[in-house]
Amino acid sequence: MKKGIFFLSLLCVSAIAVVSCNKDKTPLVDPNLDCTETVSFNQQILPMISNNCVSCHGGGQSPTITNHSEISTHATAILNSLKGVPVLMPDGGPALADSLIQQFECWINQGKLDN
Ligand code: HEC
Protein backbone atom coordinates (compact mmCIF):
# COMPACT_ATOMS: atom_id res chain seq x y z
CA MET A 1 0.00 0.00 0.00
CA LYS A 2 2.77 2.44 0.97
CA LYS A 3 4.56 1.53 -2.23
CA GLY A 4 1.44 2.45 -4.21
CA ILE A 5 1.31 5.91 -2.67
CA PHE A 6 5.01 6.40 -3.30
CA PHE A 7 4.64 5.63 -7.00
CA LEU A 8 1.52 7.74 -7.21
CA SER A 9 3.38 10.77 -5.84
CA LEU A 10 6.31 10.06 -8.12
CA LEU A 11 3.90 10.06 -11.05
CA CYS A 12 2.41 13.38 -9.96
CA VAL A 13 5.82 14.99 -9.55
CA SER A 14 6.98 13.85 -12.99
CA ALA A 15 3.71 14.95 -14.59
CA ILE A 16 4.16 18.43 -13.09
CA ALA A 17 7.79 18.50 -14.23
CA VAL A 18 6.87 17.55 -17.80
CA VAL A 19 4.10 20.13 -18.00
CA SER A 20 6.19 22.99 -16.62
CA CYS A 21 9.27 22.12 -18.66
CA ASN A 22 7.30 22.01 -21.89
CA LYS A 23 5.79 25.44 -21.38
CA ASP A 24 8.52 27.37 -23.18
CA LYS A 25 9.05 24.95 -26.03
CA THR A 26 7.51 24.97 -29.47
CA PRO A 27 4.61 22.53 -29.33
CA LEU A 28 4.91 19.14 -30.99
CA VAL A 29 8.65 19.34 -31.67
CA ASP A 30 10.14 15.87 -31.48
CA PRO A 31 13.07 15.90 -28.99
CA ASN A 32 14.67 12.85 -30.68
CA LEU A 33 14.86 14.50 -34.07
CA ASP A 34 18.22 14.25 -35.83
CA CYS A 35 18.97 17.71 -37.21
CA THR A 36 22.68 17.33 -37.95
CA GLU A 37 22.38 18.76 -41.46
CA THR A 38 21.60 22.44 -41.84
CA VAL A 39 18.29 22.92 -43.64
CA SER A 40 18.27 25.54 -46.42
CA PHE A 41 15.34 27.91 -46.38
CA ASN A 42 15.68 28.82 -50.06
CA GLN A 43 16.34 25.33 -51.37
CA GLN A 44 14.09 23.23 -49.12
CA ILE A 45 11.55 25.17 -47.06
CA LEU A 46 10.40 27.79 -49.56
CA PRO A 47 9.88 25.26 -52.40
CA MET A 48 7.95 22.96 -50.05
CA ILE A 49 5.60 25.77 -49.01
CA SER A 50 5.33 27.19 -52.57
CA ASN A 51 4.47 23.80 -54.07
CA ASN A 52 1.97 22.71 -51.43
CA CYS A 53 0.51 25.72 -49.68
CA VAL A 54 0.74 28.98 -51.62
CA SER A 55 -2.12 28.14 -54.01
CA CYS A 56 -4.39 28.84 -51.01
CA HIS A 57 -2.09 30.75 -48.63
CA GLY A 58 -0.68 33.24 -51.13
CA GLY A 59 -2.87 36.07 -49.90
CA GLY A 60 -6.33 34.49 -50.06
CA GLN A 61 -6.60 32.07 -47.15
CA SER A 62 -5.05 33.19 -43.84
CA PRO A 63 -2.23 32.85 -42.85
CA THR A 64 -0.34 34.30 -45.84
CA ILE A 65 2.92 32.32 -46.04
CA THR A 66 4.91 33.39 -49.09
CA ASN A 67 8.30 34.56 -47.78
CA HIS A 68 10.84 34.08 -44.98
CA SER A 69 9.33 36.58 -42.61
CA GLU A 70 5.75 35.30 -42.98
CA ILE A 71 6.79 31.65 -42.78
CA SER A 72 8.91 32.38 -39.66
CA THR A 73 6.05 34.21 -37.96
CA HIS A 74 3.66 31.31 -38.54
CA ALA A 75 6.22 28.51 -38.17
CA THR A 76 4.61 26.85 -35.15
CA ALA A 77 1.12 26.93 -36.65
CA ILE A 78 2.52 25.56 -39.93
CA LEU A 79 4.33 22.70 -38.19
CA ASN A 80 1.25 21.82 -36.18
CA SER A 81 -0.95 21.88 -39.27
CA LEU A 82 1.44 19.54 -41.10
CA LYS A 83 0.82 17.12 -38.23
CA GLY A 84 -2.94 17.60 -38.36
CA VAL A 85 -3.35 20.07 -35.47
CA PRO A 86 -5.94 21.52 -35.40
CA VAL A 87 -6.60 20.72 -39.09
CA LEU A 88 -4.40 18.75 -41.46
CA MET A 89 -2.66 20.78 -44.14
CA PRO A 90 -2.52 20.72 -47.15
CA ASP A 91 -6.27 21.11 -46.81
CA GLY A 92 -8.02 17.87 -47.72
CA GLY A 93 -4.74 15.92 -47.45
CA PRO A 94 -2.81 13.81 -47.99
CA ALA A 95 -0.20 14.83 -45.41
CA LEU A 96 3.27 15.73 -46.68
CA ALA A 97 6.02 13.11 -46.43
CA ASP A 98 7.48 12.66 -42.94
CA SER A 99 10.90 13.63 -44.27
CA LEU A 100 9.54 17.04 -45.35
CA ILE A 101 7.80 17.59 -42.03
CA GLN A 102 11.03 16.71 -40.20
CA GLN A 103 12.94 19.13 -42.41
CA PHE A 104 10.58 21.90 -41.38
CA GLU A 105 10.94 20.92 -37.74
CA CYS A 106 14.76 20.99 -38.04
CA TRP A 107 14.58 24.39 -39.72
CA ILE A 108 12.70 25.71 -36.65
CA ASN A 109 15.16 24.03 -34.26
CA GLN A 110 18.08 25.59 -36.13
CA GLY A 111 16.69 29.07 -35.57
CA LYS A 112 14.57 29.58 -38.73
CA LEU A 113 17.60 30.61 -40.80
CA ASP A 114 17.16 32.77 -43.90
CA ASN A 115 19.76 30.81 -45.85
C1 HEC B 1 -6.71 23.84 -50.92
C2 HEC B 1 -6.40 25.00 -50.13
C3 HEC B 1 -5.35 24.88 -49.07
C4 HEC B 1 -4.06 24.38 -49.18
C5 HEC B 1 -3.39 23.80 -50.41
C6 HEC B 1 -3.44 24.57 -47.89
N7 HEC B 1 -4.32 25.15 -47.01
FE8 HEC B 1 -3.93 25.69 -45.09
N9 HEC B 1 -5.87 26.29 -44.86
C10 HEC B 1 -6.84 26.21 -45.82
C11 HEC B 1 -8.11 26.54 -45.23
C12 HEC B 1 -9.45 26.57 -45.96
C13 HEC B 1 -7.86 26.83 -43.86
C14 HEC B 1 -8.87 27.18 -42.78
C15 HEC B 1 -9.25 25.85 -42.18
C16 HEC B 1 -10.01 25.92 -40.92
O17 HEC B 1 -9.86 26.88 -40.18
O18 HEC B 1 -10.73 24.93 -40.67
C19 HEC B 1 -6.43 26.69 -43.67
C20 HEC B 1 -5.80 26.92 -42.47
C21 HEC B 1 -4.43 26.81 -42.29
C22 HEC B 1 -3.72 27.17 -41.08
C23 HEC B 1 -4.34 27.74 -39.83
C24 HEC B 1 -4.77 26.58 -38.98
C25 HEC B 1 -5.25 27.06 -37.64
O26 HEC B 1 -6.47 27.25 -37.51
O27 HEC B 1 -4.41 27.26 -36.77
C28 HEC B 1 -2.40 26.92 -41.29
C29 HEC B 1 -1.26 27.14 -40.31
C30 HEC B 1 -2.28 26.37 -42.62
N31 HEC B 1 -3.53 26.32 -43.21
C32 HEC B 1 -1.10 25.96 -43.17
C33 HEC B 1 -1.00 25.34 -44.42
C34 HEC B 1 0.21 24.76 -44.94
C35 HEC B 1 1.54 24.75 -44.19
C36 HEC B 1 -0.08 24.25 -46.16
C37 HEC B 1 0.84 23.50 -47.07
C38 HEC B 1 1.47 22.34 -46.55
C39 HEC B 1 -1.48 24.54 -46.43
N40 HEC B 1 -2.02 25.18 -45.34
C41 HEC B 1 -2.14 24.20 -47.61
C42 HEC B 1 -6.65 25.88 -47.14
C43 HEC B 1 -5.50 25.34 -47.68
For residues 14 and 27, what is the distance between their CA atoms, to the nearest angstrom?
19
For residues 49 and 71, what is the distance between their CA atoms, to the nearest angstrom?
9
**Pocket lined around ligand 1, Cβ cut-off 6 Å:** 52-53, 55-57, 61, 63, 74, 77-78, 81-82, 86-87, 89-91, 96
What integer pLDDT is reported at residue 33 of this predicted model? 83
Block means of pLDDT (10 residues each) for the chain, 115 residues, are: 61 51 51 88 98 98 98 98 97 96 96 98
Classify each residue of 68-105 as buried b or exposed e, where b means 16 or more C-beta atoms within 10 Å of its C-beta. eeebbebbeebbbbbbeeeeebbeeeeebeeebbbbbb
Single-letter code of the amino acid located at 17 = A
